[in-house]
Structure 1
Amino acid sequence: MAHSPPIVRTKFVPPLPRKKLLDRPRLTEALDGIADHCVTIVQAGPGYGKSTALAAYLAGNRAPAAWYSVSGEDADPNIFIAHLIWSLRSLCPSIGGRSLAILEERYDHLARNDAIDLLANDILDMIAGDFVIVIDDYHLVGGNPEVSELVERLINTMPSHCHVVLLTRERPSFGSLARWRVKGEALELAEEDLAFTGEEISALFTGIYDYTVTPDQVDAISERTEGWIIALEMTWHALREGASFDSLLVKPQASLASVFDYLAQEVLVKQPSHVVEFLIDASILGELEPEVCSLVSGRDDSADILSKLSASGLFVYMTSSGGYRFHNLLKDHLQRLCRKDLARWVDANRKAADYYWETGEGLQAVDHLIAAGDWEVAAEGLSMIAAELVKSGRYDALAGRLGDLPGTALEAYPDLLLHRADVYRLTSDYVNALAWYAMADEIFAVQSDNAGRVRALKGKAMVYLDTVQPAKSEELLSEAFALVAPDDRLEQAALLRMMAETKTNEGQIQAAVEFARSAEQLINQAMEDELDIRVHLRTGRLSTALDSLRRRVDQESRSSRPSRSHRETQLLLSLVYSLIGEGDKARKCAEAGIALGRDLKAPFVEAVGYMRLGHACHISPSPGAPDAEECYRRALEIADQIGVARGRAEPLMGLALLHAARGEAALAEKEAREALEICQSAGDEWLAGFVQLGVGAGLASSRNDLQASAWLEAANETFARCGDEYCATVCSMWLAVLAMHRQEDEGRLKGFLEILFRDLGAHSYEFLFTKRTLFGPPDLGALAPLLIEASRLGVDREHVDWIRSVTGLPELEY
């Protein structure tokens, strides 16, 4: 005979409705759906008022209900069925007799299935009209597969006037759930359905709690608590006991300790130790993405832990982006636990900072460095992204981080003071702007950094130009002009232009014109400084151009801040590096050019930076780097925005190269023809040759030989006229490839090969065979047949054998 379990009758008593309870029409309407579904699943974490809300609803609507609050011991299937039957006896005292008799006689799976089937029959025969069976805290028993099967069996066999409601923290794993959903038999409510809206929070405080709150305070409460009822209650209790609103919601005080004690007892203490440790480590994060969670926690099962926590409703929920988040209050509690071990807190934040730097999320990296107390590293990182924050209008983001940094860190990176001053000026807080510019000026003066002082003085002058106080701006600009390095003509020109604006504001138009003319002359002189390097570049003397550019970088690095001409250096360097196959270096220089263009508010410079970044990404794609086509299109967008048609030619060439290599010949030729028209209009034959070579190389790599030949022949003629030995050599290389593709006669092929290897040796262009270059093939293996055929035909045998050895092809036959 099976054991008959004792019945704990207090489990059948629903929570008593509160004397003062807010009328929530939105929630009432949702719960009205219970009568239209065979099963309702209300899934939410602790403290969301699941039981209270449902009990109040059932009491208010006078719907007959059998309430069963389960405990952990009810996971025993016999105990569960017995208590379920006794809960129903509150509606019908004689129900379930046959079922209980079977359980007393047998203790096996089949007996329990029979007991459920008999109970379903009793419900049909003994209870008339719609009624509800409530199983509260179902998650405590739903983990037992047999209990889950028994409940599912009851739902599938019970009559339609019976409605089961499961209140749970974890989603049940019923096999029939999908079918119930499709047939419209399942109603599912979640935390967002139970959480209080802003309107409900306002009504709760002003009505039930009799505590007046402003709309801003309601917003703050809503953001802080996310409508979590237990947090709303504790907030009210704390306010009633004298806690100030600001201190309560900005920095959690001890008056909220009971909330966190509740969480620790109800959630954390019941979790496996490894999950608790994971939660503590991950609490430093905003978005709980598996990869970064694994990094900070040192675990390799982060995705599994997060998925299970989310499914269980334990305050980790999935965001619209597919990541996870903590509930704010639980996160605060976990962070306090993490902070108790300072070394752990610091280590986790440093790991997170490294991760976010690697993924290009600089602001998040800075946040973690600040949290770790790595003030100077945080200041350095913030200085790298401050200009972009200002440019994109994220003033509060910058101001907030600056406010978190101590004065010593700001003194070490006075550029941050300038950016903070810029924010004040752009938001018309001129008093603070002047104060911060002055602080920066003082620090730059102590450091003997004249370039920094110039920027600070210019900033102060801009304040007076903005507010039309020319006398004050004129004095500052004169002081700044005296500090500018003699060779920094572009900075001098910028100051002269500001002086021209000052004279205009003073009504001295003739003086303004003279200043403007002087600025133009300085810009022309600065452009002439680039002439020698440009000549080297456009005649194919790449090594000489590279040496000159590197020397310039070295000279500029000795100053505390690069002069404005540094932008040209970086952009030219990027192009040269792309031509010689140094993709990573090309990318870094292009990115530096883009950053300087933004810093100088020079959109054309930024556009050129994107063109060169496109070249770099084309020859050296890497994870996290932008797509080459994306870069070219961004360059076109900027050129169009500023109305500089000349700026379209190079990115169009890049697009033509990409599309031709993909076999999109018609599109590539259309882009090339547009670029050629621009070059011809500007009189730039060399750039026209670039366009011809780009589309020709792309077409050749995609085996569009006939079209490629025409473009490459044209390019070869163009570079012969321009005297560019490098591009002419690339043309010879591709023409030789085409000759092999088309199996032209040996004499013609040998002629191409002789020209090719002669020029390779004369100008040290052997890297064309060892590195992926801008106009070279995507797969260097495409050039191997040239080496083999050159050996066979006896072309420059010693030189060819050497190239074959460094490319690893000495034994390969074609």
Structure 2
Amino acid sequence: MNIEENKLQMPNYSPSLKRKRLFNELDQYETVSLLLVTGDSGYGKTMLISSYIREKNIPAVWYQLGSSDRYAHIFLSYVKTGIYRQLGIDHSPQIIEAEDADAELANVISLLADRNQPLLLVFDDYQLVDPSPEIEPIINGLINSSPAVTVIIISRGLPRLPITKLKVERKYKELTTADLAFSLDETCQFFNEMNQMNLEDQEVQFIFERTEGWIASYQLILGVIAKMNGKERLLLWSTFPYVQDIYDYLSVEVLQAQPEEIKDFLYKTSILSELDPVVIDEFLGIDHSEKILNRLLTQHLFVYRDQQGIIRYHRLFRQYLYQNYKGNIKNDYMKEHLRLAGIYEKRYQLINAFAHYTIGKDYLMAARIMGLIRDLYNPVESMLFLDGWLEEISAGDSFAINTLFLIRCVPLATLKELTTLFEENISLLKKKKNELWLCNLEHRLATIYLMRGDIVQAKQLFSDSLKGSEQFHDHPMSALNLILMAEIYRYLGNYEKAIELVRKAVFISDKYRIRHTQIHALDTLATIYLDKEKVDKAAPYIELALNLAKEHDKSTLIFVYTTMGRLYSVKNDSAKAIEWGEKAVSLAESYNNDFDNGWSKHELGKTYFKSQKYEKAKRCFDQAFHAFSLFTHYQCMVGISMYQIYSVIGDGAHAEKVYKEIKSTCEKYDFYWLLDSLKPKKASKDAKEQMKPLSIQTLGSFKVTYKNKPIIIKRQSSLRLLQYFITHRNKKIEKDMIIDTVFPDGSLHNIENHFNVSLSVLRKTLEPDLKSGVHSRFIKRFGNQYLFDTTDIDLDVETFLNLTKEDSDCDIKKLEKGITLFQGDFFEEYPYEAMLENERERIRHLFVKTSQMLAQHYFQQNNYQKCFLHFERILDKDPYQEGIYFDYLEMLLKKNLVTKANKVANDMKQFFADEMGISVNDQIQHIFSKFSVQIHG
């Protein structure tokens, strides 16, 4: 039997990343007799040692082990051959006889004993021979042979060697998975320096956190993204870790090598984020899970102890196991979560119990557990813990599925503290430009703002979160952002916008089968139509929502029951309305959280009120008012209902008292949309549009009116500030950015004063009745940021963009209405203002595109007069559109309107020749020749 030469060849991984951090650790090899490198599959153990030896040019014997090397005589044959070659001793490489093993070992040790220069003996894949009792004495002999010799063992698990004495003598060193894993800096070096990928910082951070520095996954990820652009990579990150190459590696290299019992254990325990042997024994009905976990730990099978000593799976491995397990047992995985929840509850591990009840969708039990958590734990810490815990336990499912339920469970007293913490984290993520996590945090904070009544801030944050969730293809989060934005527009009375947003949410939910958001969207759509008393439109949506909620998400039934009650109330079926309303209240009381109680009792109270059951209505309103004690916006809504009932029953004293309290609160928090509800008459939609106090015309002549009275902005700097705000409307802008653009010259102190004075003058000009800038309806301040809020402004450019936006549904009436608003360029009286140029060009482009679309539409409808009118309007507003001239000529010639075509052609030739010095004769001649028509003039 001959020596297999490849077993004694050291692998070459050039080029590879030089890991200075670990090389510094390996430089201590001369002081140790045994260096142990252990870790999970794919952590670069072999690559690290081989690249280090080559880099440092250290004499070494490399032995790549296989399962056949577990016999002493075979093992020694390779060790002897390698050592002899390294020492330059002539030797005939062949397998020695088994009976000669002891003598050969003595010879090798004797030879090494005389060695005074460093020599490394590397044994790779040692786990393949470790079970053999024949190998241990040989390794011990080599370890103790000479101070100049260092034995390096590379293995997936801890070898069965007596290492205590070596540790005491400080002749032992070990590198584990935690050491081998790439750091954040090494991750960046691998992708951006070694492989020139130019990934953004947030992408590097994402890879590092999701893979926990697992090196094999980096190589697999690199193979996938090598030819991707930035947008394509974003799509990959949105579905990560569902990369087939990674899953194939875990399946082939890790899972398939395990016995069936271990595979079964791995799959079933993947729904636990903490591997507690006592919990696992009860969950699986076994009594030896501790032994299995110890085996997994010693074998480095993607299991580790964290800093608190808790055993966990590595994130990627657990997600792989969890998703496969879910796929195998289908919907039964929720039952498994509920079984675990029960076990944790019995053990009084309430956080775990709450999380598993929530993932298992037993919201009644989850709410009950939350009541215990509120009483026992520090509320802010427990909420922040749960904020990430649900996502950790559900292993990759979107947090949007449970976010509303979690926020509803938040103890009221913690909302302000949570708000501060979320704001700080959002600010930090923005500084780091870490957008991958930003949209989730923005959504959570927006939901809290909404429930607190900070509608303007909530709307902006939902809008910001929507951009992020769309960018990273988080469809559940996108749908939920759209729904809650629709809810805000509903509160503000902008039903058209609300319907537009919620329909988008319905489309996303249907397309991606997201039941949670589908139910919520359908309920919101029904609610909007019930506000408008359109029962026939509302009924099918709420019926569908009810069926889906019963099957897929019982936590939403409170809201669905409430909307069903409203449906029957609008239909004047008081008995049915009360029945559904009482069902909602009963369910809310079982959840025992303030928001649900306030919501359901307020709606039931309105049903009683309409049915003239005034005492029951008052009782419901009182209870709802108390439940909403920290939900100021919703409490004001209940207060308005209380004012209305007192007015109807003739209790003037109480009505006056409630009116003053609610009016004062609404003014304090600027709930102007609620103040309108206190007025006896309900304005029509057209009247509401006219009621907007501020009107600004920017397309063509610039005009500003407040309550139908013209306003002149005399201060030039205030006018420039307004132009900037309008250009960047409804966006939070840093103060420094505004100053740099609007006030570019002057000392820092003077500019600061200039800005403050200009802003003050602008606010007072736009809102003559304003007492304090803090309460400005239009120019909002958020710390060091400003936002120009157009919610209550009739702004022609915004209306134009809404009616003509590129994702429009091609509603011809809307497009026509939008085009009529274009009376000229954006701030056309200020043609040399650089900060307006981009917006001016964008609007002009949209005007041309929309007019062209209308022209095409009317041409197809044989309405040529309207078609040609739109071409004339384009050329009147923007005569430099060469392509429009050619399209216009073709349509005229198609209808044989030669005279008109000749006039247009001559106008074009003259304009381009006079204004631009360009001849277009050849192009025009080409178009006329296509229709066999002669051009005149």
> What per-residue deviation string (whole Å, max 9, x for no partner) do you get for residues 619-655 of structure 1?
xxxxxxxxxxxxxxxxxxxxxxxxxxxxxxxxxxxxx
1:151 has 2:146 as partner: no
Cα offset, 1:17, TM superposition: 2.9
* Pairing partner for 2:42 from 37, 44, 47: 47
1:86 has 2:81 as partner: yes
| SS state at 2:174 partner | strand
* Pairing partner for 1:349 from 334, 337, 345: 337
Tell me which amino acid in the other structure corresponds to 2:222. W
Cα offset, 1:268, TM superposition: 1.9
Cα offset, 1:61, TM superposition: 0.7
Contact 2:36 2:153 in 1 (8 A): yes
Which residue in 1 is equivalent to 2:218? 232
Cα offset, 1:499, TM superposition: 7.0
Q: Find the aligned partners of 1:456 and 1:141 in 2 and give their Cα distance.
A: 72
* Pairing partner for 2:183 from 197, 205, 208: 197
| SS state at 2:120 partner | strand
Show the 5 A alignment for 1:400-799: 422=448, 424-425=450-451, 429-431=457-459, 435=487, 444=562, 446=565, 447-448=581-582, 449=585, 452-453=601-602, 454=621, 476-480=638-642, 503=664
Tell me which amino acid in the other structure corresponds to 1:53. L
1:74 has 2:69 as partner: yes
Query: Gaps spanning 5+ residues in structure 1: where?
Result: 466-471, 485-492, 508-814
Contact 1:15 1:55 in 2 (8 A): yes
Contact 1:287 1:325 in 2 (8 A): yes
Q: Find the aligned partners of 2:207 and 2:405 in 1 and give their Cα distance.
A: 37
Contact 2:60 2:86 in 1 (8 A): yes
Q: Find the aligned partners of 1:415 and 1:50 in 2 and give their Cα distance.
A: 47
Q: Find the aligned partners of 1:273 and 1:120 in 2 and give their Cα distance.
A: 43
> What per-residue deviation string (whole Å, max 9, x for no partner) do you get for residues 76-133 of structure 1?
2211111111222331353788x989x42x53xxx534322210111234x5521111
The change in CA–CA distance for 1:138 and 1:396 in structure 2 (over 3 A counts) is closer
Which residue in 1 is equivalent to 2:935? none
Query: Gaps spanning 5+ residues in structure 2: where?
Result: 392-396, 416-443, 460-483, 492-523, 525-557, 566-580, 586-596, 603-620, 647-653, 669-937
Contact 1:370 1:404 in 2 (8 A): no
Contact 1:458 1:476 in 2 (8 A): no
The change in CA–CA distance for 1:413 and 1:28 in structure 2 (over 3 A counts) is closer
Q: Find the aligned partners of 1:259 and 1:399 in 2 and give their Cα distance.
A: 24
The change in CA–CA distance for 1:476 and 1:197 in structure 2 (over 3 A counts) is same
Q: Find the aligned partners of 1:10 and 1:227 in 2 and give their Cα distance.
A: 30
Q: Find the aligned partners of 1:498 and 1:228 in 2 and give their Cα distance.
A: 63
| SS state at 1:196 partner | coil
Show the 5 A alignment for 1:167-186: 167-175=154-162, 177-186=163-172
The change in CA–CA distance for 1:461 and 1:332 in structure 2 (over 3 A counts) is closer
Cα offset, 1:326, TM superposition: 1.0
Contact 1:85 1:95 in 2 (8 A): no
Q: Find the aligned partners of 2:82 and 2:658 in 1 and give their Cα distance.
A: 87
Which residue in 2 is equivalent to 1:124? 113
> What is the RMSD of the two structures over their aligned residues, measured on CA atoms?
4.4
Which residue in 2 is equivalent to 1:284? 271
Identity %: 21
Cα offset, 1:408, TM superposition: 12
Which residue in 2 is equivalent to 1:309? 296
Cα offset, 1:352, TM superposition: 1.5
Q: Find the aligned partners of 1:310 and 1:411 in 2 and give their Cα distance.
A: 37
Cα offset, 1:31, TM superposition: 1.2
Contact 1:424 1:433 in 2 (8 A): no
Tell me which amino acid in the other structure corresponds to 2:322. Q
Which residue in 2 is equivalent to 1:618? none
Which residue in 2 is equivalent to 1:134? 122
* Pairing partner for 1:112 from 94, 98, 101: 101
Tell me which amino acid in the other structure corresponds to 1:123. L
Q: Find the aligned partners of 2:362 and 2:403 in 1 and give their Cα distance.
A: 6
Which residue in 1 is equivalent to 2:153? 166
Name which of structure 1's ranges 263-272 and 87-96 shifts more when overlaid on structure 2: 87-96
Q: Find the aligned partners of 1:413 and 1:26 in 2 and give their Cα distance.
A: 43
Q: Find the aligned partners of 2:659 and 2:294 in 1 and give their Cα distance.
A: 59
Which residue in 2 is equivalent to 1:299? 286
| SS state at 2:36 partner | strand
1:63 has 2:225 as partner: no
Which residue in 2 is equivalent to 1:512? none
> What per-residue deviation string (whole Å, max 9, x for no partner) do you get for residues 456-492 of structure 1?
6678886667xxxxxx9766425258889xxxxxxxx
Q: Find the aligned partners of 1:345 and 1:441 in 2 and give their Cα distance.
A: 26
Cα offset, 1:173, TM superposition: 1.8
The change in CA–CA distance for 1:227 and 1:416 in structure 2 (over 3 A counts) is closer
Contact 2:353 2:369 in 1 (8 A): no
Which residue in 2 is equivalent to 1:333? 320
Q: Find the aligned partners of 1:423 and 1:376 in 2 and give their Cα distance.
A: 23
Which residue in 2 is equivalent to 1:750? none
Tell me which amino acid in the other structure corresponds to 2:129. V
Q: Find the aligned partners of 1:162 and 1:332 in 2 and give their Cα distance.
A: 43
Q: Find the aligned partners of 1:112 and 1:201 in 2 and give their Cα distance.
A: 46
Cα offset, 1:444, TM superposition: 4.7
The change in CA–CA distance for 1:6 and 1:56 in structure 2 (over 3 A counts) is same
Cα offset, 1:142, TM superposition: 1.3
Tell me which amino acid in the other structure corresponds to 1:13. Q
> What per-residue deviation string (whole Å, max 9, x for no partner) do you get for residues 539-575 of structure 1?
xxxxxxxxxxxxxxxxxxxxxxxxxxxxxxxxxxxxx
Q: Find the aligned partners of 1:413 and 1:480 in 2 and give their Cα distance.
A: 27
Contact 2:45 2:154 in 1 (8 A): yes
Contact 1:376 1:409 in 2 (8 A): no
Cα offset, 1:161, TM superposition: 1.1
The change in CA–CA distance for 1:260 and 1:93 in structure 2 (over 3 A counts) is farther
Which residue in 2 is equivalent to 1:528? none
1:10 has 2:6 as partner: yes
Aligned residues: 477
Q: Find the aligned partners of 1:364 and 1:391 in 2 and give their Cα distance.
A: 15
Tell me which amino acid in the other structure corresponds to 2:166. W
Which residue in 2 is equivalent to 1:263? 250
Which residue in 2 is equivalent to 1:214? 200
Which residue in 2 is equivalent to 1:752? none
Q: Find the aligned partners of 2:448 and 2:374 in 1 and give their Cα distance.
A: 10
Tell me which amino acid in the other structure corresponds to 1:267. V
Tell me which amino acid in the other structure corresponds to 2:140. E
Q: Could you state the TM-score of these two structures normalised by the residue count of structure 1? A: 0.52
Show the 5 A alignment for 1:29-44: 29-44=24-39
Cα offset, 1:217, TM superposition: 2.0
Cα offset, 1:416, TM superposition: 8.5
Q: Find the aligned partners of 2:91 and 2:658 in 1 and give their Cα distance.
A: 95
Q: Find the aligned partners of 1:58 and 1:401 in 2 and give their Cα distance.
A: 45
Show the 5 A alignment for 1:373-384: 374=361, 376=363, 380=367, 384=371
Q: Find the aligned partners of 1:353 and 1:62 in 2 and give their Cα distance.
A: 57
Contact 1:362 1:381 in 2 (8 A): no
Contact 2:643 2:659 in 1 (8 A): no
